[in-house]
A and B are shown apart, each in its own frame.
Chain A
Amino acid sequence: METRASHILVGAFVLAFLSGLIAFAIWIAKVDLDAEYQDYDIYFDGTVSGLYKRSIVYYLGIPVGDVRDIRVAENDSSKVHVLVRLRDEVPVTETTTARLEFQGLTGVAYIELKGGASGGTPLTPKEGRERAVIPSEASPLMEFYESAPNLINEAILAIQQVQKLLSDENLQKVGTILDNADQVAANLAAGTQGLDRLMSDVRGVMAQIGETTQKLNQLADSGHKLLSEDAALLITEAVKAVNAAETTLNRIDGLVDANEENITQFVAGSLPEVTRMIVDLRRTARSLSRLVTRIERNPGEVLFGPAESKYDLKTRKEEEKKK
């Protein structure tokens, strides 16, 4: 017996089933059939690590589109060309910028749009281009990641420099310098105390020089018979030299007279403080030197102390410290 089936009924059933399947797929995929989209190009400088096709594009934290394509820029291999598709109602204006951001520390990237205030001029494709280009800007986090290796290298370099600076040789040199400075300060203090006496002596010497100069002048002018022409010339040169010396001494005398109060104030007031400071600095340098030596020899001992005995008052005996 032949089965009689209605072809129309079967066909209708198949079509209805396929339509339902398509509707179900649309519902599952949440495809918004009414939505309209606009494509834009974004060019990023350097890497876009963590950004993939279908990565979300946010505007003020709201998902407004996704990444459609990523490739190296056609005319500049140092840039990355990202094609994004945004909902048509997103206010992309000429002031809008795109920034690559990261979700937490997972490394997953997304694009955040900023700017685009209402009332701004809408961003339109330039002549000869298919899509408008949204300008990109560097992400602070990206800048940090890029500069982190340099920072670490610089920190290592700085530590190496400090280690060099704190070498035994340098500490010994600092100690020597401080010793010398201390000695100079002490000498200055002792020397300036006798400054008045010194200047008094200098004035006396200058008076004598003046008298001698006059006599030499008279002698040169008189054209003494016993002196040859060369001797007269020599005397003239000597007179010039003595005159120059007298001028210099007069200047020094005037300078000291003018600053006598300041010099006395420095010697009486500041110099002792400087001396004390040098003593303290010298002690600090020695302490540092000792500490560095101890650290070099046995860092553990510096941290936890050496193994040493303890005297017990009750038992009146020494007890060895357990390490």
Chain B
Amino acid sequence: MIKLSMLLRRYGGALLLASAAAVSGCGPIISFGGDGPGDTVYSLKYPGGYHTNGDDAPVIYVDEPHMADGLAGQKIAVALAGERRSTLKGARWSAPLSTLVRDYVARALGDKAGAHMIGEGGLDIHAGCRLGTKVWALEFVPGGDVGGDKVEIAIEMSLVRLSDSTLISHPTFTRSMSVQGTDGDVVMTAFNRAMAATADEMGLWLKDQVDACRAPVK
């Protein structure tokens, strides 16, 4: 009768070698991402200047936007037919979309509406109003053919006076812009143009509302 210890002595080395090979073969199971080409990174940046409002301009706190329908994060959303959602291959935002939108809105409205727009890091500043934002759509919508592609933006805003929590105004801005091409750069150009046009509308709206956010005369 062949004993186990005898087998181990005879074939122990071979068994050890086979075990090591088997364990090393498990390496590919643990993966930290593919080896494909990296994504192209795009920004959403306000093209205008920086605001130069006076000290007496009203102060508005720009709250962090709420992102709807999977728009949060750095992936670029794609709205497909049949209510299906996807993300754009090979491209992503340079930062979480909520951060990009907040910075864009703060800069654009500070430039256009004549108010101090306080964004990230301004929690301790005494503000007259809070500007809440809900991003309903900021996505690429493929059409039936290349000419039918477009980007869509829908942003709801709520201006709240902080002294009495009164809702001063509550509009929603929508914009659609056609995409002329089939690469990421063209899509991003459309996004930036659509956002700039939306910011123009927002600026006009806020300019009429800022007086409600001025600090009361003591």
Residue of A nearest to B63 (CB): A279
Is there a chain A Cβ closer than 8 Å to B109's Cβ? no
In contact, A310 and B163 (Cβ under 8 angstroms): no
A268 touches B184 (CB 8 A): no
Q: B207: CB under 8 A from chain A?
A: no
The tally of residues in B whose CB lies under 8 Å from a CB in A reads 30
A-contacting residues, B141-192, CB 8 Å? 142, 146, 162-165, 182-184, 187
B172 to chain A, nearest CB (A): 21
- CB–CB B126/A313 < 8 A: no
CB nearest neighbor in B for A268? B163
Chain A nearest CB, measured from B83 CB (Å):
14
Is A304 an interface residue when CB atoms closer than 8 A count as contact? yes
Pick the residue among A275, A283, A312, A322 that contacts B89 (CB under 8 A): A312
CB <8 Å contact, A311 and B63? no
The residue from B34, B123, B140 contacting A280, defined by CB atoms under 8 A apart: B123
> Quick check: is B194 within 8 A (CB to CB) of the other chain?
no
Of the candidates A276, A280, A283, A313, the one whose C-beta lies within 8 Å of that of B162 is A276
Q: B123 — which chain A residues lie within 8 A by C-beta?
A: 273, 276-277, 280
Check A311–B89 contact: CB distance below 8 A. Answer: yes
B129 to chain A, nearest CB (A): 9
Q: Chain B interface mostly helix, strand, loop or mixed?
A: loop
* Pick from B64, B162, B183: contact of A272, CB under 8 Å: B162
Instruction: Indicate if the CB atoms of A310 and B63 lie closer than 8 Å.
Output: no
The stretch that binds B, out of A151-159, A186-194, A207-215, is A186-194
The docked-state distance in angstroms from the alpha carbon of A312 to that of B90 is: 8
Whether B87 lies near A189 (C-beta < 8 A) is no
Interface set, chain B 67-92, CB cutoff 8 A to A = 78, 80, 86-90
B136 at the interface (CB under 8 A from A): no
Tell whether A225 is near chain B: CB-to-CB under 8 Å: no
> Please, what's the 1-or-0 string for A187-208, where 1 marks a CB less than 8 Å from any CB in chain B?
0011001000000000000000
Contacts of A272 in B (CB 8 A): 126-127, 162-163
Contact indicator B86/A313 (Cβ below 8 Å): no
Whether B182 pairs with A283 at a CB distance below 8 angstroms is no
Instruction: Contact check, A273 vs B124: say whether CB atoms are below 8 A apart.
Output: yes
Rounded to whole angstroms, the CA-CA distance of A275 and B89 in the bound complex is 41
B33 at the interface (CB under 8 A from A): yes
- Residue A121 lies at the interface, judged by CB distance under 8 Å to chain B: no
What sequence of 0s and 1s flags, for each residue 168-199 of chain A, a beta carbon within 8 Å of any chain B beta carbon?
Answer: 00000000000000000010011001000000
Min CB distance B67 to A, Å, is 12
CB-CB under 8 A from A304, the residues of chain B are: 32-33
Q: Is A269 an interface residue (CB 8 A)?
A: yes
Asked if A310 and B126 sit within 8 Å, CB to CB, the answer is no
A136 to B120, CA, bound (A): 59
**Residues A186 and B124 in contact in the complex (CB < 8 Å), given A308-B86, A311-B78, A318-B80:** no
Q: Is B216 an interface residue (CB 8 A)?
A: yes
Which residues 111-125 of B sit at the A interface, judged by CB distance below 8 A?
123-124
Q: Mark A299-315, 1 if CB is under 8 A from B, else 0.
A: 00000100011111110
Give the contacts of B1-45 with A (CB-CB under 8 A): 32-34
Pair B80/A311 contact, Cβ less than 8 Å: yes
A310 touches B86 (CB 8 A): yes
* Across-interface contacts of A269 in B (CB, < 8 A): 126
A146 within 8 A of B: no
**Minimum CB distance partner of B184 in chain A:** A313
CA distance A190 to B78 in the complex (A): 44
Q: Nearest chain A CB to B73's CB is how many angstroms away?
A: 9
Residue B46 CB within 8 A of the other chain:
no
> At the interface, yes or no: B102 with Cβ under 8 Å from chain A?
no
Can you report 5 residue pairs joining A to B where beta carbons are below 8 Å apart? A190-B164, A280-B64, A310-B90, A311-B88, A313-B88
Additional A-B contact list (20), CB under 8 Å, known A272-B163, A283-B64, A313-B183: A189-B163, A189-B165, A268-B163, A268-B216, A273-B124, A273-B126, A276-B61, A276-B162, A277-B123, A280-B64, A280-B123, A310-B86, A310-B88, A310-B90, A311-B86, A311-B87, A313-B184, A314-B183, A316-B142, A318-B86
Q: Which residues of B contact A (CB under 8 A)?
A: 32-34, 61, 63-64, 78, 80, 86-90, 123-124, 126-127, 130, 140, 142, 146, 162-165, 182-184, 187, 216
